[in-house]
């Protein structure tokens, strides 16, 4: 991603408690933001925003049910999201809440600009009113429901109301041209095709306000600046957050956003409505809109009625047993980043944990650290250089270069999982290299054959340096454990170093003669598949 980089997540409704779905999108953003900071070597060139969407009607109802004001209720739940994201070790630069003045004043500015240009106008909305649910159904939905409320069975009434509308239809052709000209504007590609398909049906202007009624709940939101009889529709208010936060001199370099991340449920708002609003405001469009799929649990869709959400409490129980890095790893490498849903399955979690972490990077780093400790007193001797195993098809330095290139390529399409797995590919090759070179056997011959000692040093150096490169590529997913490894091996990335230079085998940041490589603590203890899931 080009510098400066601006990565956003949806802002989450505060009437719900945070769960794995919210933590996943923000976690994906966290991993991409960490990669981006590493890539440029300058953390101030990356901005990562998450937050909460607070002006929904549901907030008013839930607050009342809990004997609180909407703002008190929003405060409480926004704090729960912030706490959850802190516990997951996320490094967002900002947490926006739509009830904050900094956001509200900007929204008013944008709406005023759209009123002035005529892109927001007063019109009339006609629909089928479901009085029992206080919502409109479109003609098609009403017809399908037999003109009775699908929820309560009471008759629907045809009703009209004055509303402010956004001239979405005016921007249809420009949007289509933009999507055509920018093949990676909407990703994954299958989602892009869905959007293009729906666009063929044509775009109608959309209401951007709701009437204020006698019900005090209808005042919860931002009032239209020109007309206190209307408030801005919550979705319009919410979409503006991406711009409102960085629309000030210190942060303006971050617009346009590099990527808006979300799940497929809200792609239309981000890929169609938001870009058209930006065109109307004469602002550049985000470079990318990325919609992932859903988490399900043990093969079943998560829902309130089933009560089977992977809640923040379940996530904490996993983190307590396996470590937060292990949970991050599972989410990032097994998550629904593409077009298929992903399963949060305990058996799979343990399998991946053991394969990639305990028996993967953990075991490999500890084997190599132990041998350097045992045979060389924990210090790489003079003259060490890369050793290529007889019978191997490629050197470990070539494997590191290929993996680093794979990481970069995966990052081009926001594929954090693939970017991380490139690090594990190095670990697997180091394991094979150890099998081919058998340093523990070689160590037994050094007394009789002094040249074996030099070869042993070269072999262990080669392994350690490859693991160091792997640790750099793995660090955005496993920040705590890789920092632990770096401290045992004295190879923490220098401030200002770039991902490219850190990931280069035997480069300026590499291990060398004199580097102290100590055993360190075990990074990941093997998990017992027979142990029941933490709850």
Interface positions with ligand MSP (CB under 6 A): 10-13, 16, 21-22, 24-25, 53, 238-239, 262-263, 265-266, 294-295, 302
* List of E strands, 435-535: none
Q: What percentage of the chain's residues is helix, strand, coil (to nearest 5)?
A: 50, 15, 35
> Nearest approach, Cβ of 457 to ligand MSP (angstroms)?
48
Do residues 312 and 17 touch, judged by C-beta distance below 8 A? Answer: yes
| Residue with smaller CB distance to ligand MSP, 16 or 418 | 16
Q: Provide the residue count of the chain.
A: 535
| Residue with smaller CB distance to ligand MSP, 336 or 479 | 336
Distance, CA of 154 to CA of 303 (rounded, Å): 26
| Residue with smaller CB distance to ligand MSP, 208 or 239 | 239
Q: CB-based burial of residue 170 (10 Å sphere; 0-12 exposed, 13-18 middle, 19+ buried)?
A: middle
Of 95, 103, 75, whose CA–CA distance to 234 is shortest? 103
> Nearest approach, Cβ of 118 to ligand MSP (angstroms)?
25
> Nearest approach, Cβ of 170 to ligand MSP (angstroms)?
22
What lies within 8 Å, CB to CB, of 279 at 6+ separation is 171, 174, 175, 285
Distance, CA of 490 to CA of 227 (rounded, Å): 63
> Nearest approach, Cβ of 67 to ligand MSP (angstroms)?
23
Do residues 25 and 292 touch, judged by C-beta distance below 8 A? Answer: yes
| Residue with smaller CB distance to ligand MSP, 39 or 234 | 234
3-state SS assignment for residue 388: coil
Distance, CA of 458 to CA of 16 (rounded, Å): 56
| Residue with smaller CB distance to ligand MSP, 16 or 75 | 16
> Nearest approach, Cβ of 249 to ligand MSP (angstroms)?
24
| Residue with smaller CB distance to ligand MSP, 243 or 460 | 243
| Residue with smaller CB distance to ligand MSP, 294 or 486 | 294
Do residues 352 and 326 touch, judged by C-beta distance below 8 A? Answer: no
> Nearest approach, Cβ of 312 to ligand MSP (angstroms)?
13
> Nearest approach, Cβ of 338 to ligand MSP (angstroms)?
12
Residue nearest to ligand MSP (CB): 21
């Amino acid at each position: 991603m080009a510098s400066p980089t601006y990565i956003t997540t949806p802002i989450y409704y505060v009437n719900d408690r945070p769960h794995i779905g919210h933590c996943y999108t923000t976690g994906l953003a966290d991993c991409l933001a960490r990669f981006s900071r590493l890539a440029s070597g300058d953390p101030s060139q990356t901005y990562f925003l998450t937050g909460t969407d607070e002006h929904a009607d549901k907030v008013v109802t839930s607050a009342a049910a809990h004997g609180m004001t909407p703002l008190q209720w929003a405060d409480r739940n926004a704090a729960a999201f912030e706490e959850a994201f802190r516990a997951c070790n996320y490094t967002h630069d900002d947490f926006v809440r739509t009830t904050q003045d900094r956001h509200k004043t900007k929204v008013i500015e944008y709406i005023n600009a759209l009123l002035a240009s005529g892109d927001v106008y007063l019109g009339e909305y006609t629909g089928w009113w479901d009085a029992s649910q206080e919502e409109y159904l479109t003609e098609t939905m009403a017809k399908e429901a037999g003109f009775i409320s699908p929820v309560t069975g009471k008759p629907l009434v045809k009703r009209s109301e004055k509303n402010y509308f956004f001239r979405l239809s005016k921007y249809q052709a420009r949007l289509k041209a933009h999507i055509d000209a920018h093949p990676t504007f909407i990703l994954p590609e299958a989602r892009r095709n869905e959007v293009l398909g729906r666009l063929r049906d044509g775009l109608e202007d959309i209401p951007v306000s709701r009437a204020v009624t006698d019900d005090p709940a209808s005042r919860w939101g931002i009032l239209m600046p020109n007309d206190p009889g209307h408030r801005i529709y919550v979705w319009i208010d919410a979409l503006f957050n991406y711009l409102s936060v960085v629309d000030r001199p210190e942060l303006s370099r971050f617009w346009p956003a590099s990527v808006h991340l979300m799940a497929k449920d809200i792609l239309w708002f981000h890929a169609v409505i938001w870009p058209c609003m930006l065109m109307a405001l004469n602002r550049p469009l985000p470079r990318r809109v990325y919609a992932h799929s859903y988490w399900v649990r043990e093969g079943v869709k998560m829902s309130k009625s089933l009560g089977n959400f992977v809640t923040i409490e379940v996530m904490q129980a996993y983190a307590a047993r396996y470590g937060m890095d292990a949970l991050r790893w599972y989410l990032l490498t097994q998550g629904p980043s593409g077009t298929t849903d992903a399963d949060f399955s305990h058996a799979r979690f343990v399998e991946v944990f053991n394969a990639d972490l305990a028996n993967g990077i953990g075991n490999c780093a500890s084997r190599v650290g132990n041998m350097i400790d045992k045979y060389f007193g924990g210090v790489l001797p003079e003259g060490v250089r890369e050793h290529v195993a007889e019978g191997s098809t490629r050197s470990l330095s070539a494997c590191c270069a290929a993996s680093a290139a794979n990481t970069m390529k995966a990052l081009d399409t926001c594929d954090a999982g693939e970017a991380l797995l490139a690090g594990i590919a190095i670990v697997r090759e180091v394991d094979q290299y150890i099998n081919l070179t058998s340093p523990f056997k070689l160590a037994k011959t050094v007394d009789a054959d002094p040249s074996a000692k030099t070869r042993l040093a070269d072999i262990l150096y080669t392994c350690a340096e490859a693991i160091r490169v792997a640790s750099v590529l793995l660090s955005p997913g496993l920040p705590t454990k890789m920092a632990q490894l770096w401290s045992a091996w004295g190879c923490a990335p220098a401030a200002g170093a770039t991902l490219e230079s850190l990931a280069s085998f035997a480069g300026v940041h590499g291990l060398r003669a004199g580097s102290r490589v100590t055993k360190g603590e075990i990074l990941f203890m093997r998990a017992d598949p027979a142990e029941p899931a933490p709850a």
